[in-house]
């Protein structure tokens, strides 16, 4: 058996069910060699304010972002939109079937998670937000949400492409 085949067999042995996600190390490796496809949720209220959540992780500087997530193997756009709404906000949403916009995102200096195909979906809440996660002032904590009447200055750089939608 050649070395490539052994390596692939080893990687496959680490992935139990790719539709449920990947082990972190395998996922990060894949993001270094192939584009990822993700959905982002543009959620507006009756006042046309946009719902953003606070993000602070190893991949971007801290800032507000549009909730979103990477599509798993054999997962539909619809399933990922619903999973993001539930995981990031604890809500259910309805959404238009076609994305509002499709973006190719290539970060020239970032190796890990440096290439995305991003689909922005227009969504409406159909269940209430968790008030315990509402940002109420001070320094936001990861996962907190807030309605924004305009795009904040401290939106994460990867979501600058959505400034005109916010």
- Ordered by where they begin, the domains of the chain are 35-165 (3.90.79.10)
pLDDT of residue 74: 94
pLDDT of residue 1: 65
Tens-place pLDDT, residues 54-86: 998 777 779 999 999 999 999 999 999 999 999
Residues 62-73: b if buried by 16+ CB within 10 A, e if exposed:
ebbbbbbbbbbe
Residues with pLDDT less than 50, the chain? none
pLDDT of residue 106: 93
- H helix or E strand, kind and range, residue 93: strand 93-95
């Amino acid at each position: 058996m050649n070395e490539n085949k052994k390596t692939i067999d080893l990687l496959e042995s680490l992935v139990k069910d790719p539709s449920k996600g990947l082990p972190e190390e395998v996922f990060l490796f894949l993001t270094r060699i192939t584009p990822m496809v993700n959905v982002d949720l543009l959620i507006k209220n009756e006042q046309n304010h946009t719902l953003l959540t606070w993000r602070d992780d190893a991949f971007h500087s801290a800032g507000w972002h549009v909730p979103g997530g990477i599509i798993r193997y054999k997962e539909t756009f619809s399933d990922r939109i619903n999973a993001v709404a539930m995981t990031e906000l604890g809500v259910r949403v309805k959404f238009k079937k076609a994305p509002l916009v499709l973006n190719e995102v290539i970060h020239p200096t970032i190796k890990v998670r440096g290439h995305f195909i991003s689909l922005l979906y227009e969504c409406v809440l159909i269940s209430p937000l968790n008030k315990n996660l509402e940002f109420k002032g001070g320094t936001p904590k990861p996962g907190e949400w807030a309605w924004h009447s305009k795009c904040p200055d401290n939106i994460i750089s990867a979501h600058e492409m959505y400034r005109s939608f916010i």
